[in-house]
């Protein structure tokens, strides 16, 4: 199910958005959806990375070298 939202964009951002959508030959709304999806995905990955770093440090792994030493 699709739903809609309303956005207020500053003029420079709107111009950049429209220019990039034109370059990609896609609709502006398609670019906005893609940008939001990418942002939310990266936020999720960063959250997982933070969680894993906390777990690793509690178990004595502070760097990639620590992990390498353990598996070698």
Residue 29's pLDDT band, with cuts at 50, 70 and 90, is very high
The tens digit of pLDDT for each residue in 31-66 reads: 999 999 999 999 999 999 999 999 999 999 998 898
* pTM over the 0.95 mark: no
Per-residue confidence (pLDDT) for residue 69, from 0 to 100: 87
> Domain boundaries in the chain?
28-71
25: left (phi over 0), alpha (psi -120 to 50) or beta: left
Per-residue confidence (pLDDT) for residue 72, from 0 to 100: 87
Overall size of the chain counted in residues: 72
């Amino acid at each position: 199910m699709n739903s809609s939202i309303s956005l207020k964009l500053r003029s420079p951002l709107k111009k950049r958005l429209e220019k990039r959508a034109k370059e990609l030959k896609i609709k502006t709304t398609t670019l906005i959806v893609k940008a939001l999806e990418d942002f939310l995905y990266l936020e999720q990955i960063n959250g997982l990375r933070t969680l894993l770093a906390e777990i690793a440090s509690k178990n004595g792994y502070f760097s990639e070298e620590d992990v390498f030493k353990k598996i070698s």
